[in-house]
Amino acid sequence: MITNQYFDLRVEAEGISHSTARVLINVEGEGGIESLNFAGANEITTDNDNNPLGADKAWTYRRVSFSTPGIKTVSALVIDGRRVYGVATQISVQNFNLVGQKSIVLFIGDAMGTAYRDASRIVAQSTANRFREGWFDELQQMDKMPVTGMSMTYSLENIVPDSANTGSAWTTGNKTINGALNVFPDNNDFKYNSANQQATKQFALDNPRVETLWQFLKRRHGYKTGIVTTSDVADATPAAEGAHTITRSLLKDIARQYVDGSINSGNQFDVIMGGGLEHFNARTVANSGDTRNLVTELQAAGYTYVQNRNELNAITTPPAKILGLFRTGNMNVAYDKLLLNRPPDEPMPNFGGFTNQPYLDEMTAKAIDTLKQGNAPFILMVEGASIDKQSHPNYAAGQIWDNIELDKSVAVGRAFLNTNAQTLANTLVLCTADHDQSLSIIGAVDTQVPNAIQNVISTLLYPNANRGQGNVGIENRVGETQGFPDYQDANGDRYPENTNRIRIKVGYRTGDHTGSSVPVTAEGTGALLFYGYFDQTDIFFKMAKTLSMNTQPLDEALNYKRSVDVPYFTPAEQFRLKKATERFG
């Protein structure tokens, strides 16, 4: 926790004998006994657990916070007639004291582990009108950020996490179980039944919550907040910034929480962009428990509503708030928006009638233009969602081009950061992933070889790599070639047309998430805090630290490092040096 961050404290007593059982809470900080601060209710519930024979009781204190930092030992005594039961836990509270007016843009490539970043770089930066072959890759935008760290992603109960608990890690600083958004599990969760969602969802929405950094900064410091994604806006990664539920599947309730709030009341974001239109304008009692139209409600609350790419790009004067819902479900991937032909092992696009969808970099630019107005600082999350969604079914083209789309959005964030000395001193840009997936880079493939295999999907026999060491593992490496791809980018939009002969060859082991650490790159004020190996929850504390300290000495140290470091060659320099080595070679 950070000081004054809200969370709910729940004490559960099972197997008790008396309905009159009561609880005594004791809080001890480093300075001695403290009182339990809670701004909400103390809810008392019975018959929570799955044991119908014994009595049970739970006390949930809503909106607890600590105003001072340090280790807090919280103990609970349950007095049950003549019996007394006790339990204690310790909570670490970091000091948060806003210094200056700094903004944060956090880019998330869903599932973007190292192999994903590499595949995207190889495809986007090896085009024939650039210089690459046999020499250095040109760095992507996300690679050019000067600080790199690694984030461990495991959840409260699994090595392999999902997007809900990982998002909760960087938004709240706490770990939770897979599928959960910013709440801890409790002992009535088993009563939620997805087959009977509306009648049982109260048990998924009543869990002990933790306030997200987005919510905290809006409530305490008047920050503007935003979520931009290529997924459904109620999907796990955007929901992690502003919703509370033990199951990410309650999409209609997540959308409702964006409007009504959950741990805090009122609108949670100034900018909401992505898919998921149906959660706002097609609500029924059966699917949502209400018949509200959240689009018209948000319009009445001052949001400018845009429904397609033309309407988004027609905005010249940024409005106070934007709601952009560009299709139902998840938005289409870059490869399909570009109208490229999918390779034979990937499906043809289905636009669902929404043929005029913006690109993520366009959405990012309008989001920043909107949030940066006035003097309030802002915090924005931008997600490239289909890196993950295309990786699950092993669609390499859909996935890699989506990674390029995210990188073009990172370019927008970096351009804003580098606008002037003031933005440079007051903005932190981060780019990371929530978790990894099972992509491997195998090599290159000659697509003119009959039945050439470009993409080894997880259900096929995995090939041995051919690195010029003889005929080992010849089973599946049809068309495999040594060397590098020869992509073309004729129109210079940085998305290769994917029509040339030699292409990247990749494989998937599982088509699911993996438990590997993921890279974090950082630029701007406080970036140096993101150097090293750390847990994903530390991203929350490092963001909070950036906002609550004088970052100038840190930033000067990074500038000094950059001034003395070896240079990364530009393509022109590489070309000159390559020519020189050829002359001697």
User: SS3 for 584?
Assistant: helix
Virtual torsion, Cα 261, 266, 271, 273, nearest 10 deg: 40
How is residue 424 written in tokens? 């440079």
Secondary element (H or E) of residue 444: strand 436-446
Part of the chain binding Zn ion (CB under 5 A), chosen from 150-158, 264-272, 383-391, 534-542: 383-391
Part of the chain binding Zn ion (CB under 5 A), chosen from 277-285, 386-394, 420-428, 471-479: 386-394
Instruction: Report the nearest approach of Zn ion to the CB of residue 408 (Å).
Output: 22
Number of residues that bind Zn ion (CB under 5 A): 1
User: Considering beta carbons, is residue 12 or 388 the nearer one to Zn ion?
Assistant: 388
User: Considering beta carbons, is residue 49 or 434 the nearer one to Zn ion?
Assistant: 434
Residue 388 touching Zn ion (CB under 5 A): yes
d(CA 108, CA 60): 33
Q: Phi and psi at residue 71, in whole multiples of 5°?
A: -85, 125
Instruction: Report the nearest approach of Zn ion to the CB of residue 123 (Å).
Output: 21
Part of the chain binding Zn ion (CB under 5 A), chosen from 65-73, 256-264, 388-396, 562-570: 388-396
- 302, 224 contact by CB (below 8 A): no
Q: Determine the residue with CB nearest Zn ion.
A: 388
Q: Which residues of 213-246 are buried (b: 16+ CB within 10 A; e: fewer)?
A: bbbbbbbbeebbbbbbbbbbbbbbbbbbbbbbbb
User: SS3 for 380?
Assistant: strand
Instruction: Report the nearest approach of Zn ion to the CB of residue 238 (Å).
Output: 14
Instruction: Report the nearest approach of Zn ion to the CB of residue 390 (Å).
Output: 10
The residues, ordered by sequence, that sit 6+ positions from 341 with a Cβ below 8 Å of its Cβ are 498
Per-residue binding letters, 342-381, with Zn ion (x by CB under 5 A): ----------------------------------------
User: Considering beta carbons, is residue 57 or 513 the nearer one to Zn ion?
Assistant: 513
Instruction: Report the nearest approach of Zn ion to the CB of residue 535 (Å).
Output: 20
Instruction: Report the nearest approach of Zn ion to the CB of residue 184 (Å).
Output: 22
d(CA 116, CA 233): 23
Instruction: Report the nearest approach of Zn ion to the CB of residue 162 (Å).
Output: 6
Part of the chain binding Zn ion (CB under 5 A), chosen from 293-301, 340-348, 387-395, 575-583: 387-395
Per-residue binding letters, 522-561, with Zn ion (x by CB under 5 A): ----------------------------------------
User: Considering beta carbons, is residue 231 or 262 the nearer one to Zn ion?
Assistant: 231
d(CA 333, CA 403): 10
Site for Zn ion in 557-576 (CB under 5 A): none
User: SS3 for 468?
Assistant: coil
Q: What residues pair up with 533 in beta bridges, in sequence order?
A: 150
Residue 434 touching Zn ion (CB under 5 A): no
- Amino acid identity of residue 233, one-letter, is V
Taking only Cα atoms into account, the Rg of the chain, rounded to an integer number of angstroms, comes to 25
Residue 383 touching Zn ion (CB under 5 A): no
Q: Which residues bind Zn ion (CB under 5 A)?
A: 388
